[in-house]
Structure 1
């Protein structure tokens, strides 16, 4: 894999949150968001004419809290929620997750180190503090949803998540790309997890840039080593876009 090309003024920039913009922490609430990152994202949003969106497994209100005072275009819960550039919210109807929540809570009661996260339309079972329980978590979540087609079990970094089937980050990015100010631009998406692969599958066939953050196999053609490397790449992009004579044509990976 190669380093991503420089960001140009006609890019549509999509950014995952955990593991891409910020380092993953032991619990979802323990992350650290540097003030410089918030300022940087605000600058890039302006320089790209509003064509910057956060695409995350988090809920949008949680993203807003961590990035306050910014309220960027965003997709939350892997696309279950989406807020467009005009601030309009779209949200998929939540399924009945009672049995899933009960099973996850019971597992967390029995096994120390598990954390249950209740979202609008999904249940996430985190096992970062108990990685030896991966198979136990997977089997329990798979068993509770059985063969019900309306549910999908998704595996991310130290988390299993039950969510509505057929919704993913790629679908969310595709929706953004049909709307102003994203439409007609070159899509660029950076993400670190297996849940970001659906986004990579959308941007690269459009002539865009997919950036895998960190180690591991990926369909993305570009790579950055860490959230720190992402930050430095974005700083360089901001500085270039803010300088005179930046309106060059986009450059694709060679």
Structure 2
């Protein structure tokens, strides 16, 4: 069993701050198939309350598409960066800047599906990102990674391979959670706030680094090794409990958030 790095549990943030949230492994336990996760009403209520308390300065930063996020959390349609920042919804209930699937990525997906698709491996096609999930077949992670790495030589420049806890992804170089967080921080609802980012996987490390550079709070959930995060929470349950404590503190009135009388429009 992996031991958690010797990092402190985060204190509750004070002063004007903004909240950025990964989803899988952070707010929801991982499942063998991404569609198998379930969002309960308690989590929806918690997120809606936090978003209101933060005057809208809350956004999902996720590898899922925004369409998939909306399906999970309906009827909530919060601000979000999907596909690691290749898709954005910059306002509540606003339009989505979407990303399509290039032909070469579609062809690669079909090749990998032909070899691994019947072996409890799930090939997820997310526009310009190809994700191979091996949580239900961990013995095939090495082969899946090999197939994706070999494909780099046949693709146009500008792609990278990102290995995760239970799968591997091929994505454009400009798909980066840190860049997505910086884009939100330039918006009026987020401007001047200290960023707080919760994530659980290697794909979140870029976001932790970006948040650290601007004196934010980086929090990794259940790390399996070295991390750029400066704080740690043991698991999804502890992450939800921490967010719940933040929400309760705000409801109790001990908060440095923006005065509700000065709320901006979405």
| Counterpart position of 1:209 | 217
Alignment counterpart, residue 238 of structure 1, candidates 247, 252, 256: 247
CA contact (8 A) 1:9 1:48 kept: no
Give the count of matched residue pairs.
Answer: 248
- 1:218 correspondence with 2:247: no
Partners of 1:248 and 1:174 lie apart in 2 by 20
Secondary structure of the corresponding residue to residue 57 of structure 1: coil
| Counterpart position of 1:229 | 238
CA contact (8 A) 1:149 1:165 kept: no
1:71-220 alignment, distance < 5 Å: 71-85=77-91, 87-92=94-99, 94-96=101-103, 97-109=105-117, 112-146=119-153, 148-216=156-224, 217-220=226-229
Runs of 4+ deviating beyond 4 Å = none
CA contact (8 A) 2:17 2:257 kept: no
Q: CA RMSD in A?
A: 1.7
Deviation at 1:94, TM superposition (A): 4.1
CA contact (8 A) 2:162 2:169 kept: yes
- 1:20 correspondence with 2:26: yes
Structure 1: tracts of 5 or more residues without a match: 250-254
Alignment counterpart, residue 42 of structure 2, candidates 36, 49, 53: 36
Partners of 1:80 and 1:248 lie apart in 2 by 30
- 1:48 correspondence with 2:57: no
Partners of 1:171 and 1:107 lie apart in 2 by 34
CA contact (8 A) 1:14 1:52 kept: yes
CA contact (8 A) 1:40 1:235 kept: yes
Deviation at 1:99, TM superposition (A): 2.4
Structure 2: tracts of 5 or more residues without a match: 1-6, 259-266
